[in-house]
Amino acid sequence: MDMAAEKEPNENKSVVNSQDPAPQPVIFNPEFFVERLKHERPQVFTELVLSNITRLIDLPGDEFAQLTGEADPRLPTAHTGFLRSLNFLKRKDKGVVFGAPLTEEGIAQIHQLIEYLSKNLHVEGLFRVPGHSLRQAALREMLNAGTEIDLETGDFHPNDAATLLKAFLGELPEPLLTHRHYHAYLKIAELTQFDEKGNKTSVPDKERQIEAFQLLFMLLPPANHSLLKLLLDLLYHTARNQHNNKMSAINLATMVAPHIIWPKHVQASDLQGNIKKLNNAVAFLIKHSQKLFRAPVYVKEHAHMHFKGSTTSQFTDGLALCGGGAHPSPSKRAGEAVTCTDGTTSSNTHTELALRELYQQVSSMPESAKKKKLIRQFAKQVPGTPLSDQQTLYSHRKHRRSRSFGGIRRRALGTQGPVETASSSLVTPGSSSSADRQEKEDSSFGWDSSSLKRMCFSPTQETSV
């Protein structure tokens, strides 16, 4: 008994110790399904983003082909190409970082400069005042060698780091914002609001611009996307300290735009009046950088429903994707339904509500040719809208008459001759048995006699009856 009593506390103690630790809170990433769609279904993801970009900005066929990579970018050409190329050849030899294609290794080295600058935002003229050339050369060599640098020792000045960061961006083989997106950036800069009469104004449409940049940034290569986010975040906080450093967003954009958005090997005179647009676009990116790296709500919903939802989509136009419905496979023919993963073909209530909200938004747009085109596309492809409901009802009614008339006429004729076109009062007594048989046959198909008469007669006869 004593031994058993001694064992019980030990057993209880072991039970207490074996209890699992408290579960850690689960942090949900709202972009999880977007990233999953991007990696597991890249073609669906790209079509979703492109369809919504073209909804916001008008891209002609050649510019759209450049955006998708189907055509080589057509960029402004340099009138002083020889001198420009000569200056480019005079640069330092290519290393691991400077002059090399953008890689994660290069970003890790440049991040040392960004981190150092983020601690010295108070320096007046940051990104405008050049640093010391000898210190920059030494720092450049250390970065190219992959050295981990302690910039807090005082051997280097923040202006050295800022000038070297601009040099790194300027020596990339392709601008950070890529040549493929160049024309799209110009079109986004032109997005303005409409007045009550539907005419364009000079007031920028910030909401549409933010949405367009969000979509466009989702198409950037991963390395470009990562560095752009780090750079814009640094410039955003630099502009917020303009009371100390005297560098506003437009001042910073003027210093940085030639290195991240201008086409390579061109000068200011080659851009033919687009410099102001490009500088303003970069200033806009700096001001709104905290919103630009989020996926739009409808993209998140579409990605979530792609993996979790069970809907059927008959949409072939990108407009339907704005509401977040299931996306058809490219191999599907136009108008062919996409079957859900669970085998059902019923529409999801959430999708229908989103589509109707989108239809209302389009309806509230000012009267224009684009609005009429969108309304027609809704009427053709998006179920649940007023126009599509009316067209569906009409098409079903017309289809029922044309499809059923031939079969009913053949069954009604048989070998008895022409069909009687008079009312039931003209039927002879001898034909009552055949009429009964015909009525039974019609009832087996789910039709009653009144509907049969409506389907046999023309609209004019139906009205008279």
Q: Which residues of the chain carry a pLDDT beneath 50? A: 1-9, 11-16, 18, 80-93, 310-347, 392-405, 408-409, 412, 415-433, 435, 440-465
Task: Record the tokens describing residue 62, joined without a space.
Answer: 């050649």
Q: Residue 249: its pLDDT value, please? A: 96
HEC sequence for the chain:
CHHHHHHHHHHHHHHHHCCCCCCCCCCCCCCHHHHHHHHHCHHHHHHHHHHHHHHHCCCCHHHHHHHHCCCCCCCCCCCCHHHHHHHHHCCCCCCCCCCCCCCHHHHHHHHHHHHHHHCCCCCCCCCCCCCCHHHHHHHHHHHHCCCCCCHHHCCCCHHHHHHHHHHHHHCCCCCCCCCCCHHHHHHHHCCEEECCCCCEEEEECHHHHHHHHHHHHCCCCHHHHHHHHHHHHHHHHHHHCHHHHCCCHHHHHHHHHHHHCCCCCCCHHHHCCCHHHHHHHHHHHHHCCCCCCCCCHHHHHHHHHHHHCCCCCCCCCHHHHHHCCCCCCCCCCCCCCCCCCCCCCCCCHHHHHHHHHHHHHHHCCCCCHHHHHHHHHHHHHCCCCHHHHHHHHHHHHHHHHHHHHHHHHHHHHCCCCCCCCCCHHHCCHHHHHHHHHHHHHHHHCCCCHHHHHHHHCCHHHHHHC
Quote the pLDDT of residue 422: 41
pLDDT attached to residue 90: 42
The C-alpha atoms of residue 52 and residue 298 are separated, in whole angstroms, by 10
β-bridge partners, 194: 200
Question: What's the pLDDT score for residue 29?
Answer: 75
One-letter identity of residue 335: G
Q: How far apart, in whole angstroms, are the C-alpha atoms of residue 306 and residue 310?
A: 8
* Predicted pLDDT of residue 92: 44
The residues, ordered by sequence, that sit 6+ positions from 422 with a Cβ below 8 Å of its Cβ are none
Tens digit of pLDDT for each residue in 329-381?
333 333 333 333 344 433 355 566 667 767 777 777 777 777 777 777 777 66
State residue 345's pLDDT score.
Answer: 39
Q: What are the residues whose beta carbons fall under 8 Å from the beta carbon of 390, sequence distance 6 or more? A: none
List residues bridging with 192 in a β-sheet.
Answer: 204
Both tokens assigned to 144:
């190219």
Check residue 361 and give its pLDDT.
72
